[in-house]
């Protein structure tokens, strides 16, 4: 995180004696990154965090990628994925590479253990559901459309509230909720785009689409002072395996911490879209970044306001990145056949763009209600077998067909044709010839 904060009890100086009410010392832990020169927090435990037993390897979580040499666009329909596992074991990896892994999770049960991803940062986008994440830095209450950023090494337990259907009974298709998880596996950390943060003060800059006030930091309760010899399991993800460790004390036994390394929440509705007179490129949607990938938020917003603006994105080639979009809600103007929970994947090297008919259909629009999360990676992404099982084989051919309906000869259709006025205040002439339009 870019800025310093603190919570709970702290001694006046770091690395000095700090005593519990019974006179014994609290156990200080420096939670440092990048060899102690990156963001760091200092935590004070009631008990030594080193007193663990067990260290059993439970299962491999190494993704198995398939069709790694196949170049094609994909449409993964995740809406029908059945609930399984808990908020950790239920994650189904759909895409990934050596920089990041993308999974979708529809939990079927709760976690009766704590979890630590010692392999990478996690960015969890909550699509449906609400609940609480209990972390060693305090408690985060989450709801729909929250990004929960959990930095590497954080011990946590994610607890969803049961979801009920319209009839008030538990929803068997989605008993707790659903989330998209993007995690790093290249040792980098997920944070705000560096261009939005002051180099001198780490403060969000004025042109950033969000700022400190939009972030929700951990709150109380912070400290769980419970003793149960060997009775607290913490599962640690490391080396592409999940290992089981046992603690004698509740792993969230911290009485205070301070620093710049902690989990937080940012709700996508608090992203203030940057709009323009003409189409703005995807970087204006960027919300987070890590080494070799970015995460973007496509939010409801006013569309381009030049009277001849084309409101949907132009055809484009991601020459240096693969692009995965997760569709959350709203009508995505440039694509047909996309469902809530769909993921589309467009590999670098193949141009993609609006579906047939969508350009003309968009010209009169002034607003889009689309909501989607995008992850662009700078190295090729690979699907997993689970992704292929729900891949629409017809998607790559969905751009076939007539893109532009014929208009009357010599006419150009301007967007907002009803009552559009030029800079001089006069109505815009609708009879300009194509390609020669000028206000
Ligand atoms: Fe794109």
Write the pLDDT tens digit of every residue in 325-343: 999 998 776 677 889 999 9
| Dist. CA 286–CA 191, nearest whole Å | 11
pLDDT of residue 429: 40
In a domain, 428, yes or no: no
Q: How far is the CA of 413 from the centre of ligand 1 (A)?
A: 25
pLDDT of residue 408: 59
Q: How far is the CA of 314 from the centre of ligand 1 (A)?
A: 9
> pLDDT averaged over consecutive 10-residue blocks of the chain (439 residues)?
90 98 98 92 97 92 96 95 97 98 98 98 98 98 98 98 88 95 97 95 95 97 94 96 96 98 98 96 96 98 95 89 95 78 94 88 91 97 97 91 70 46 45 28
| Dist. CA 244–CA 251, nearest whole Å | 13
State the residue for tokens 């912070």. Answer: 222
Reported as a single tens digit per residue, the pLDDT across 193-220 is 999 999 999 899 999 999 999 999 999 9
Phi and psi dihedrals of 70, rounded to 5?
-85, 130
The number of CA neighbours under 13 Å toward the Cβ of 89 is 15
Q: Are 139 and 131 in contact (CB under 8 A)?
A: no
In a domain, 346, yes or no: yes
Q: How far is the CA of 333 from the centre of ligand 1 (A)?
A: 13
**Are 64 and 105 part of one and the same domain?**
yes
Residue closest to 108 by CA, chosen among 168, 171, 61, 165: 171
Per the confidence metrics, is the pTM higher than 0.85?
yes
In a domain, 332, yes or no: yes
Phi and psi dihedrals of 212, rounded to 5?
-55, -40
Domain count, the chain: 2
Task: Say what the alpha-carbon torsion angle 218, 219, 221, 224 is, to the nearest 10 degrees.
Answer: 30
Q: How far is the CA of 187 from the centre of ligand 1 (A)?
A: 26
The tokens for 160 are: 């969803």
The tokens for 129 are: 């559901």
Q: Are 237 and 62 in contact (CB under 8 A)?
A: no
Q: Are 101 and 375 in contact (CB under 8 A)?
A: no
Reported as a single tens digit per residue, the pLDDT across 101-121 is 999 999 999 999 999 999 999
In a domain, 194, yes or no: yes
In a domain, 325, yes or no: yes
Output b/e per residue, 16-30; b: 16+ Cβ within 10 A. Answer: eebeeeeeeebbbbe
Strand spans (E) along 129-177:
131-135, 138-142, 146-150, 155-160
In a domain, 424, yes or no: no
**C-alpha separations of 160 from 140, 141, 351 in Å:** 12, 10, 40
**Are 172 and 111 part of one and the same domain?**
yes
Q: How far is the CA of 310 from the centre of ligand 1 (A)?
A: 16
Q: Are 433 and 410 in contact (CB under 8 A)?
A: yes
**Are 346 and 208 part of one and the same domain?**
no
Task: Say what the alpha-carbon torsion angle 314, 319, 320, 321 is, to the nearest 10 degrees.
Answer: 50
**Are 335 and 222 part of one and the same domain?**
no
Q: How far is the CA of 237 from the centre of ligand 1 (A)?
A: 32
**Are 72 and 163 part of one and the same domain?**
yes
pLDDT of residue 170: 84
Expressed as residue numbers, the domain containing 362 is 283-397
**Are 240 and 199 part of one and the same domain?**
yes
| Dist. CA 345–CA 375, nearest whole Å | 10
Q: How far is the CA of 189 from the centre of ligand 1 (A)?
A: 24
Find the CATH number of the domain harbouring 350.
2.60.120.10
Q: How far is the CA of 243 from the centre of ligand 1 (A)?
A: 38
**Are 332 and 195 part of one and the same domain?**
no
């Amino acid at each position: 995180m870019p800025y310093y904060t603190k919570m709970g009890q702290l001694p006046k100086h770091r690395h000095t004696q700090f005593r519990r009410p019974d006179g014994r010392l609290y156990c200080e832990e420096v939670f440092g990154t990048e060899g102690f020169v990156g963001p760091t927090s200092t935590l004070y435990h009631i008990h030594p965090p080193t007193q663990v037993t067990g260290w059993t390897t439970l299962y491999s979580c190494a993704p198995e990628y398939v069709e790694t040499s196949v170049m094609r666009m994909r449409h993964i329909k995740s809406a029908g994925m059945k609930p399984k596992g808990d908020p950790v074991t239920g994650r189904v990896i759909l895409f990934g590479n050596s920089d990041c892994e993308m999974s979708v999770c529809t939990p079927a049960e709760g976690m009766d253990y704590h979890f630590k991803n010692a392999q990478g940062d996690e960015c969890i986008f909550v699509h449906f559901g609400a609940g609480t994440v209990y972390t060693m830095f305090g408690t985060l209450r989450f709801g729909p459309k929250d990004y929960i950023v959990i930095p590497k090494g954080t011990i946590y337990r994610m607890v969803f509230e049961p979801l009920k259907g319209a009839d008030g009974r538990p929803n068997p298709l989605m008993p707790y909720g659903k989330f998209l998880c993007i995690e790093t596996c290249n040792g980098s950390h997920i944070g705000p785009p560096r261009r939005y943060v002051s180099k001198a003060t780490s403060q969000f800059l004025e042109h950033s689409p969000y700022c400190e006030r939009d972030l929700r930091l951990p709150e109380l309760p912070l400290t769980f002072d419970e003793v149960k010899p060997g009775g607290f399991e913490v599962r640690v993800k490391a080396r592409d395996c999940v290992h089981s460790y046992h603690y004698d004390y509740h792993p969230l036994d911290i009485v205070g911490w301070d620093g710049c390394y902690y989990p937080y929440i940012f709700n996508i509705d608090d992203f203030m879209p940057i709009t323009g007179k003409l189409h703005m490129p995807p970087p204006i949607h960027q919300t987070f970044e890590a080494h070799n990938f970015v995460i973007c938020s496509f939010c409801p917003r006013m569309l381009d306001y030049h009277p001849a603006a084309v409101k949907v994105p132009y055809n484009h080639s991601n020459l240096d990145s693969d692009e995965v979009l997760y569709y959350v809600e709203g009508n995505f103007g440039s694509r047909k056949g996309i469902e809530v929970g769909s993921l589309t994947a467009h590999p670098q090297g193949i141009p993609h763009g609006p579906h047939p008919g969508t350009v003309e259909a968009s010209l009169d629009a002034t607003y889009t209600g689309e909501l989607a999360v995008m992850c662009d990676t700078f190295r090729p992404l690979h699907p997993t077998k689970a992704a292929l099982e729900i891949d629409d084989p017809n998607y790559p051919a969905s751009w076939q067909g007539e893109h532009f309906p014929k208009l009357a000869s010599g006419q150009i259709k301007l967007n907002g044709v009803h009552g559009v006025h030029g800079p001089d205040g006069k109505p815009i002439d609708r009879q300009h010839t194509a390609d020669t339009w000028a206000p």
